[in-house]
Amino acid sequence: MELFGDFFKQLYDTTGWNFVIFYDQVEWDRFIAAIWTTIRLIIACLIFSVIVGFAGAWAQGAKSRIIRYGMAGYIQFFRNTPPFVQILFFYFVVGNLTPSYDAGGYQQAYIGSFGWAVISLGFFAGAFNTEIFRSGIEAVPESTVEAASSLGYTRLQSYIYVVFPLAFRVCLPALNNNLVNLLKTTTLAYGIAVPEMMYTANQIWSDNVNVPEMMIVLFLFYVGLVAVLVWGMHRWEKAMKIPGYG
């Protein structure tokens, strides 16, 4: 570790390239904290958006017209507005309307910037996931669902045991795409001061005046994260493959 730090210190002294995070303990700690925050943010957003997508696709097939129209409105709203505006809107408008508690002299909202980032990004990607899941559900032949109902399955049971497993396989590539997009979109949480990688990099380069170096680190960091996600999704696709089908 010391050798590693010495190398970058040497690099700075000889060439002027200042990768301060690799030899300064304080900046290193900031960097590591940002990694964890980013990963937590991504995982929370991914999970929340997939749940929203499932629920949304389910609601789109609901009998109640109000629920169906509500879903259509939700999708239009989140698809037709920029995600950055959504994050700011949730944090500054909706956040102001939610309850807060007295945190020793000032009011602290129960949901902080991290929470609002997860909520707004989750709903944003969830709108797309809803459409992706719907396309998968529609690809499951009506006759297969009929076979399930003729075996006594309720609508919910046939969704859980037949429709979703098949639909999921159909829409995995599209889901894969959308989740990669979501991963990258989490950088917008920067706008409401979630201390994730984008925000932290900005702080570091403000303190150390090393914008190009931190930009390179940022790029490599996200390249690595996306590679891990894509690798995982591909493995999942492979594992879900059905012999003799599709």
Partner 1 sequence: MSDAKKAAGWTPEQPMVSIKDLHKSFGDLEVLKGISLDVMKGECICIIGPSGSGKSTLIRCVNALNDIQKGSILVEGQEVNDPDLDKLELRKKVGMVFQQYNLFPHKTAIENIMMAPITVLKQDKEDVAKHAKSLIRKVRLEGKEDSYPGELSGGQQQRVAIARALAMTPDVMLFDEVTAALDPETVKEVLVTIQELAEEGMTCILVTHEMGFAKEVADHIYFTDRGVIVEHGPPKTFFKKAKDPRTKEFLSQIL
Whole-number Å distance between alpha carbons of 208 and 176: 37
Task: Tell me the window of 67-75, 164-172, 200-208, 216-224 that interacts with partner 1 (CB under 8 A).
Answer: 164-172
Tell which one of 63, 107, 150, 238 touches partner 1 (CB under 8 A).
150
Whole-number Å distance between alpha carbons of 109 and 98: 7
To the nearest whole angstrom, how small is the minimum distance from the Cβ of residue 230 to partner 1?
Answer: 24
Task: Tell me the window of 106-114, 116-124, 138-146, 217-225 that interacts with partner 1 (CB under 8 A).
Answer: 138-146
Task: Tell me the window of 109-117, 130-138, 158-166, 174-182 that interacts with partner 1 (CB under 8 A).
Answer: 158-166
Whole-number Å distance between alpha carbons of 164 and 198: 36
- Judged by beta carbon, residue 99 or residue 243, the one nearer partner 1 is 243
Q: Does position 141 bind partner 1 by CB under 8 A? A: yes
Half-sphere exposure in the Cβ direction for 76 (13 Å, CA) = 6
- Are 125 and 179 contacting, i.e. CB atoms less than 8 angstroms apart? yes
- Judged by beta carbon, residue 141 or residue 224, the one nearer partner 1 is 141
Tell which one of 34, 166, 171, 179 touches partner 1 (CB under 8 A).
166
Q: Are strands 100-102 and 107-109 parallel, antiparallel or unpaired?
A: antiparallel
Whole-number Å distance between alpha carbons of 109 and 115: 10
Q: Does position 100 bind partner 1 by CB under 8 A? A: no
Tell me whether residue 38 is exposed, middle or buried, using C-beta atoms within 10 angstroms of its C-beta: 0 to 12, 13 to 18, 19 or more. Answer: buried
- DSSP annotation of 51: H
To the nearest whole angstrom, how small is the minimum distance from the Cβ of residue 7 to partner 1?
Answer: 52
Whole-number Å distance between alpha carbons of 81 and 93: 15
- Judged by beta carbon, residue 51 or residue 147, the one nearer partner 1 is 147
Task: Tell me the window of 86-94, 112-120, 149-157, 205-213 that interacts with partner 1 (CB under 8 A).
Answer: 149-157
Tell which one of 149, 184, 206, 207 touches partner 1 (CB under 8 A).
149
Tell which one of 16, 99, 104, 243 touches partner 1 (CB under 8 A).
243
Please provide residue 234's backbone torsions phi and psi, each rounded to the nearest 5 degrees: -65, -40
Q: Does position 148 bind partner 1 by CB under 8 A? A: yes
Tell which one of 34, 162, 182, 204 touches partner 1 (CB under 8 A).
162
Q: How far is CA 66 from CA 27, 53, 224, 231, in A?
A: 52, 18, 43, 40
List contacts with partner 1 (CB under 8 A): 141, 143-144, 146-154, 157, 161-162, 165-166, 169, 242-245
